[in-house]
Chain A
Amino acid sequence: MNASLIVSAVDLHRRYGEGDAAVDALDGVTVGFPKGRFTAIMGPSGSGKSTLMHILAGLDRPTSGSVVVDDIELASLDDKKLTQLRRDKFGFIFQFFNLLPVLTAEENITLPLKIAGKKPEKAWLDELIEAVGLSDRRSHRPSQLSGGQQQRVAVARALLTKPAVVFADEPTGNLDSKAGDEVLQMLRRAADEYGQTVIMVTHDPHAASIADHIVVLVDGKVVRETPAGEADEVVELMKAVA
């Protein structure tokens, strides 16, 4: 296994249901994610890309196979340890419902640290809020923010703990293209400027094209692993596997 891989999965199987109704969402996936890089997991609906992300992030457990994150074997962890791992090593950005409506933008950003009972580093927090362009929105509640602004709060929250990996699940799926581009650019800059490892699940070729590296999943199997090129190439790629 390559030492520069921050997340690696070996022969992952995930089966839902039993008997005739059983569905193999993942059917022997072996994949690695290099440190400090931006990787997009692509695939059509039902390809197993979300399941893969959930298992990598410790939100779900594989039927068989192994996941190692930052030299830690996830299978060896109980629920409590997994929760701690998510808190300390991962950042999350979801498609919908990323924020708590009762907390302000700033409180949402610092939420994971507060859960851990830690205080945010002031300078880093200010820098992040500045970077996501929310300096004048710090004490607004989510209901007072646009969809794009809400998602940028989620990006800042994911980055604040300087996690080993940021997992983004269709982060642009619910945004218009301008707001979506802004969020993608922020993730891109996080990888470039802070060396942040980002793993993003998307079915949007345009979104995937911003990544360094693309993993394509079809029917629970990895069919391509390729460096990202232009959007056109990605579209071709998708057509090819379809």
Chain B
Amino acid sequence: MLAVSLKGMAGRKLRTVLTALAVVLGVALIAGTYILTDTIDRQFDQIFAQVRQGVDVSVTPKKVFNSDNNATPPAFPESYLSQVQNVPGVQKASGGIFDDGVVLDNKGKKIGGANGAPNFISSDAPAPFNPFHYVAGHGPRGPNEISIDKYTADKQHWKVGSIVRVGGQGPATPYTVVGIAKFGNLSGLAGAPIAVMTLQQAQKVTDKVGKFDGIDVKAAPGVKPEALVQRVQQALPGTVTVRTGAEQAAKDASDTKSGLGFIKTILLVFAGVALFVGAFMIFNSFSITIAQRTRELSMLRTVGASRRQVLGSVLGEAVVMGFTASLIGLGLGVALAKGLKALFKAIGADLPGGATVLESRTIIVSLIVGTLVTLVASLSPAVRATRIQPIEGVREGAVLPSTRFSRIKTPFGAVTLAIGVGLMCLGLLTGSSGSGVWLPLLFGTILVFIGAAMFSSRLVKPIASLVGRPIESLRGVTGQLARENATRNTARTASTAAALMIGLALVSGVTIFASGIKKSVNSAIDNSVKAGLVVENKDGWTSIPAAAGKAVGQVPGVSSSSEIRLSQAKVAGVSGTPDVSGVDPATLPSVYQLDWKKGSNATLAGLARDGGNNTIVSESWAKSKDKHVGDKVAVTTQSGNHATYTIIGTYKNNVHFLGDLAVSNATLARDFKITEDQFVMFGLKPGANADQVKTQAENILSKQFPNAQADTKSGFKKTQTEWINQISAFFYVLLSLAVIVSLFGIVNTLVLAIYERTRELGLLRAVGMSRRQVKRIVRYESVITALIGAILGTVLGVFFAVIVSRPLASEGFELSFPVGTLVILLILAGLAGVLAAITPARRASKLNVLEALAYE
């Protein structure tokens, strides 16, 4: 029986290829994602193993709690080193610095760009802890000497003797390269440049004089690292973590990898979308071919094939197709991994490469998922195939027996839709965080799509009328026939359009949401920012040295300045690790107007009173955590300090400009040990030209603090919304995959429909229809189908954007409908319909009239 199916597949090559393509693309994205992230992970594993070579025990500052921003905990005092050296069994111990910095390229820009790989400053470590081996020169010996990793040196054409500028907390200053080093057999840290300085210089540059970021320990012969860990731990206070070298390497690697974990999640979600769309197409394709094969299947039943055999034959075909497509997708994934890397590079995230890693997990998941999706999508058509009676072989025409389900499809679709919407609301309104929100949201969205697809066969006729009438009045009978053909089998048209609907819903949802964020950010800045100039990190979120703001403060035309700083805290008794902003109570009102809920600018002064133990909190945080003005909150800071603050006011935290809590900068420095700036805002003297001041500020920054940039208020709006465009563009690229799959679906349905209508087309040609007119009918039908999907998708997209943004309204989110963009999307969908019709239309027009009319 399977042999019959397989021969049939070979006979319907175009259909088979088109259907399989949906699976191929989805699986390719899954495989590509795994290959890409595995390759990156492997690279990091190797790097950190090399870095910790020769280290038996490693001492690092303890993270007080895990938070979103992965901030490095503050360094510990140098005095710990002598305590470690006194531990019995320690042969040698050495303290060092390893911190973020800025290494400038030959043009004076941070290597890798603002959003690229981090730049590191490391102290030179003595043997046996030194992970470097020099291929040229030697390690740094004086304060103005550095050595550089070989990868960076090669890329920048630096040699021993080159002058390179490096900055830490202070301005970037020139150093002489005295050595080029490799890490074991690796030439660099996955593209992140590393400048190695003497210990004293590294401490000075990173503002950690008298402190260490870590202590490396070598055990005496015969002492097990595991045993030594315990002894070292006992000798030191609880604010440090003591691990074996191997454990520390694994921890470093997993920390770095978890930072990249979201990439894997996002890509897999998009792969899921593509496969979900593909499932609609497979369902459709199998339904139509089974209708067309009614005679063949009926004949098989007549000659004695059982229902079970018919079922097996159809499902067997699905499995063979799914498995083959998955195999091809897997192969394509290797190439796609490279494409994805290029995509990330295009949005400024240059991921490390290395030899391609193909884990067996990648192969297994790809093959199983691809095959399963095909199998599940073909289940319902396969069951319908079993209902074909032996007698139907003699009947003219191919009409599948309708199932009981088709009668209850519309109400069932409506109920599914309602449950989906309910789930989404549940997740958004009651879920507090994490999986409590996204799980119901995800399943809700899937149900909404399925429900809408089932319900939409009812909407095919009205929408086809809506978009078909204009074509009809313009093009007459070809338009009419196209519309009639599109509505002939509403279920088929609906499920073909549904594939496009999903893509369009996500694209328009993202578009509306992005436009809303932009509008919200713009109006929040308009309403609150009084500063004429803002200085921040070029990447938009990392802090900048306080010295940068001080330097810009000297520019003529600047009248006032106020620093805004950022850390995170754990608040006793409530979940989450809210952001804590540091503000300058005296100067903030001159540059930034808080949107007070309870309190006023006078309240700000209170932050400095009562020993600085007062705080103001965002209204949304206060509400969700049931905190009120007058309440006390006990916080644990990232530096491990404990403090109790009294809430003296609340504010509306529009677009999260500040954290959920705000304290004075003095308090932040005291309790959180944070003295770097997130933003520095400057008031301008009356009559000062903002652009001129900006140019002067930029001159200072580019020379000394290449990470920082100065913006006028309008420029600040632009930089604060730029990332939205980048992320939307990134989403569009990935969603386009789902749209492409759905276009293949339209092509497929059209090809199958044309095959069914061979005689009609023959008749039309016989009574005088030109090839061009035949092409037109097919093209318009395609456009109508595409527009049905696009219109339904846009409606769903609007719905998604509205419902997802509901909870954000209290945080200043304003909805905005980019009507122009949405109209363009509809036009593009129509054009996509034209594109999808090219092959089917050509087939239809090339039809041989006589053969088409030939009788049985």
Which residues of A approach B to under 8 Å, CB–CB?
A: 54, 57, 59-60, 79-80, 83-84, 86-88, 90-92, 94-103, 107, 111-112, 114-117, 157
Contact = CB atoms under 8 A, between A and B. Distances in A.
B759 to A, nearest CB: 5
A59 to B, nearest CB: 5
Contacts of B240: none
| Candidate in B485, B766, B771, B850 with the most chain A CB atoms within 10 angstroms | B766
Interface residues of B, number: 23
A161 B763 CA distance: 16
Interface in B733-788: 759-760, 763-771, 773
Contacts of A88: 768
Interface stretch (B160-168, B194-202, B216-224, B476-484): B476-484
A115 B768 contact: yes
B474 to A, nearest CB: 12
A116 B768 contact: yes
A17 B224 CA distance: 90
Contacts of A90: 768
Contact of B477 (A57, A79, A99, A114): A114
A102 B480 CA distance: 9
8 contacts: A59-B849, A59-B850, A83-B769, A83-B770, A84-B770, A87-B767, A88-B768, A100-B763
A114 B766 contact: no
A198 B5 CA distance: 48
B768 A97 contact: no
Given A59-B849, A114-B476, A100 B770 contact: no
Interface string B445-485: 00000000000000000000000000000001100110011
A112 B759 CA distance: 16
Contacts of B642: none
A94 B485 CA distance: 22
Contacts of A117: 476
Given A98-B763, A117-B476, 16 more contacts: A80-B770, A83-B765, A86-B767, A87-B767, A88-B768, A94-B766, A96-B759, A97-B853, A100-B763, A101-B760, A102-B484, A102-B485, A102-B488, A115-B767, A116-B768, A157-B767
Contact of A79 (B764, B767, B771): B771
Contacts of A79: 771
B766 to A, nearest CB: 5
Nearest to B770: A83
A146 to B, nearest CB: 15
| Candidate in A91, A97, A100, A103 with the most chain B CB atoms within 10 angstroms | A100
B829 to A, nearest CB: 24
A84 B769 CA distance: 8
A164 to B, nearest CB: 13
Contacts of B850: 54, 59-60
| Candidate in B476, B481, B488, B768 with the most chain A CB atoms within 10 angstroms | B768
Contacts of A102: 481, 484-485, 488
Contacts of B759: 96-97
| Candidate in B760, B769, B771, B850 with the most chain A CB atoms within 10 angstroms | B769
Contacts of B477: 111, 114-115
Contact of A92 (B476, B767, B771): B767
B855 A111 contact: no
A90 B760 CA distance: 18
Nearest to B767: A112
A57 B850 CA distance: 11
A143 to B, nearest CB: 11
Contacts of B853: 59, 94, 97
Contacts of B769: 83, 87, 115
Contact of B763 (A87, A94, A107): A94
A111 B760 CA distance: 12
A68 to B, nearest CB: 19
A185 B217 CA distance: 111
A107 B764 CA distance: 13
A167 to B, nearest CB: 9
Contacts of A99: 763
Given A83-B771, A102-B481, A117-B476, A92 B764 contact: no
Contacts of A103: 480-481, 484
A57 B766 CA distance: 9
Contacts of B760: 97, 100-101
Nearest to B481: A102
B241 to A, nearest CB: 75
Contacts of B484: 102-103
A48 to B, nearest CB: 14
A96 B396 CA distance: 11
Contacts of A97: 759-760, 763, 853
Contacts of B773: 115
A170 to B, nearest CB: 9
Interface string B21-60: 0000000000000000000000000000000000000000
A98 B484 CA distance: 17
B764 A87 contact: no
B854 to A, nearest CB: 10
Contacts of A86: 766-768
Contacts of A115: 477, 764, 767-770, 773
Contacts of A54: 850
Nearest to B484: A102
A60 B768 CA distance: 14
A64 B143 CA distance: 100
Question: 4 shortest A-B CB distances, which residue pairs?
Answer: A87-B768, A102-B484, A114-B477, A86-B768
Nearest to A94: B853
Contact of B768 (A83, A95, A100): A83
Given A114-B476, A115-B773, A96 B481 contact: no
Nearest to A95: B855
